[in-house]
Amino acid sequence: MYKLDPARFAVAEPLLDRLTATHASIEAVASGVLDGDIWVDDPTRPRVALLCEGGDGYYLAGDVDHQPSYAALKRTIPHTAYLIPDRVEWGEVLADIWDNPYARLHRRKAFRHIRGMGNVARQLPDGFELALVDQTLLDRGVSIDIETITDHLESWTSPDLFLQHAIGYCVIHDGTVVSHCMADSVVGDRCELGVGTEEAYRGRGFGALVTRQTVARCLDRGIRRIGWHCHASNAASMRIAETNGLVEATTYVAFSSTFPAENVGDLPAEECLDWARHYAAASDDISWYAFHAAGSFALGGDLDRALVHLGRLVDGDWEGQPEWLESYWTFTALRGHPELPDIVARQSRKFGD
């Protein structure tokens, strides 16, 4: 695959058109708003294109049957990629184009804004603050924790572009951003929204509130094509979208070896256990898959097997932070389990703690 100079990104645009219709991030990379790279199989008459955005997000488009590109794709797409193809048929040749035998198909949904917003209470409880994401907020970073905002900024090609185009709101409590909604991939009259709320603050309407404020400001700024993406399993995300005037536009596929859910209860127990068995087999080859196996077993209700895989993980060469074993959302059912503190302590000893 040939990595294109940004000045020649237009060579790949016809191949990426189908994906661009759903994903504003592709248009944002092509126009230089977001950091990203584009590869093609032939720099003059390409038949296959691969775009990377955000480090692990990869978009694949073109002629599925063009076998001369397979080996080059396999050298280019990293094992940890989150791969979104322009058509499901790429799944039939996945083993030929990607060195990740543990990736599986799952479905995602795209939403678009087409109407006004529902009523969302704007009154926050005492001690909570609604803040616009702007330079004033960034300047407050010396006194409050805005890491979720600054992490988002890193995907832009420069902080100035972020401040010029980005739109977002957040809720601050006790010196920390606890919920936020940010407009990303802002190109012309188009953007995509992302929302996140810290686990302890979910179910209180904060996500809907910051989304409503962000959508309203986008519309005030002349941004009319507002998009939203989420796992097909994420009912909470879909509710927030629909509350704020976004409706489902399409369902598409992605391939990844990461767990295709973001909240406890998104997937039924048996599906969680199916993923857990898949990860358990993968961990015999790549040890860190034991982390995902443990989380999936915990979500499926098999706490004993979850603890076995956590033990394998920490007794091996895994270098993850000990607190992840207590705070990561897939381990919710293990919190308070009498065996977990010992496992965390064994991981802590690797860091001399």
Q: Which amino acid is at 274?
A: D
**How high is the pLDDT of residue 116?**
65
Q: What angle do CA 138, 29, 251 make, to 5 degrees?
A: 100
pLDDT of 320 higher than 70: yes
Kindly report the backbone phi and psi dihedral angles of residue 198, in degrees, each rounded to the nearest multiple of 5, phi listed first: -60, 145
pLDDT of 347 higher than 60: yes
**How high is the pLDDT of residue 154?**
81
If 0-12 CB within 10 Å is exposed, 13-18 middle and 19+ buried, where does residue 352 land? exposed
**How high is the pLDDT of residue 121?**
52
Q: How confident is the model at residue 34 (pLDDT cuts 50, 70, 90)?
A: confident
**How high is the pLDDT of residue 113?**
94
pLDDT of 265 higher than 70: yes
pLDDT of 267 higher than 60: yes
**How high is the pLDDT of residue 120?**
53
Mean of pLDDT over the chain: 93
**How high is the pLDDT of residue 184?**
85
**How high is the pLDDT of residue 114?**
86
Residues 99-150 have pLDDT tens digits of 999 999 999 999 999 876 655 556 799 999 999 999 998 888 878 888 888 8
**How high is the pLDDT of residue 143?**
80
**How high is the pLDDT of residue 229?**
97
HSE on the CB side for 253, CA within 13 Å?
Answer: 15
If 0-12 CB within 10 Å is exposed, 13-18 middle and 19+ buried, where does residue 325 land? buried
The answer to which of 8-12, 147-151, 155-159, 200-204 has the lowest mean pLDDT is 155-159
**How high is the pLDDT of residue 223?**
93
**How high is the pLDDT of residue 17?**
96
Q: Residues 81, 98: contact at Cβ < 8 Å? A: yes
**How high is the pLDDT of residue 351?**
87
